[in-house]
Amino acid sequence: MVDSKREAALRDAIEAFFFAYRAFTAGPDRILGERGLGRVHHRILYFVGRSPGIAINALLDTLGVTKQALNAPLRQLVEMKLVSVRTAAHDRRCRELRLTREGERLEAQLTGTQMAHLGATFAAAGKGAEIGWRAVMRRMPG
């Protein structure tokens, strides 16, 4: 059982996390909305961009979603020519994903807004804040 002071502190942390995440996603959400896309599309673009040639199964594991949950948004990104799908040279059953040039530009724009947001926040929070934040984020089970 959590005492009332600890509970209040944890609830405050939950609210701070909620509002920080809302601020962190606001810029990309606006950009995505203009294209009829959502956060799942950004996550796909981000992780495909970070790992060019990633297999669809590896992307499923990274995102922690089912094939059914990934199918529609990935197909939309392919149809919009933001992501390309190729057969892997090492295994014809395996499909590899890469960002197209337009996909790279969109991913850079989306993630760039978040990097700027984090950079400004870390600078305002002072020396050591980023290290502490990273320690907390890395210890969150997920």
Residues 6+ apart with CB under 8 A from 88: 53, 55, 94, 95, 96
pLDDT at 38 over 80: yes
Model's pTM, two decimal places?
A: 0.90
CATH numbers and ranges of domains, the chain: 4-139 (1.10.10.10)
pLDDT at 35 over 70: yes
Q: What is the pLDDT of residue 142?
A: 66
Write the pLDDT tens digit of every residue in 92-132.
788 999 999 999 999 999 999 999 999 999 999 998 999 99
Mean of pLDDT values over 70-84: 97
pLDDT band at 19 (very low <50, low <70, confident <90, very high): very high
Mean of pLDDT values over 46-51: 98
What are the angstrom distances between the C-alpha of 108 and each of 33, 97, 124, 130?
Answer: 16, 17, 24, 22
**12 touches 19 (CB < 8 A):** no
Please provide the average confidence, as pLDDT, over all residues in the chain: 94
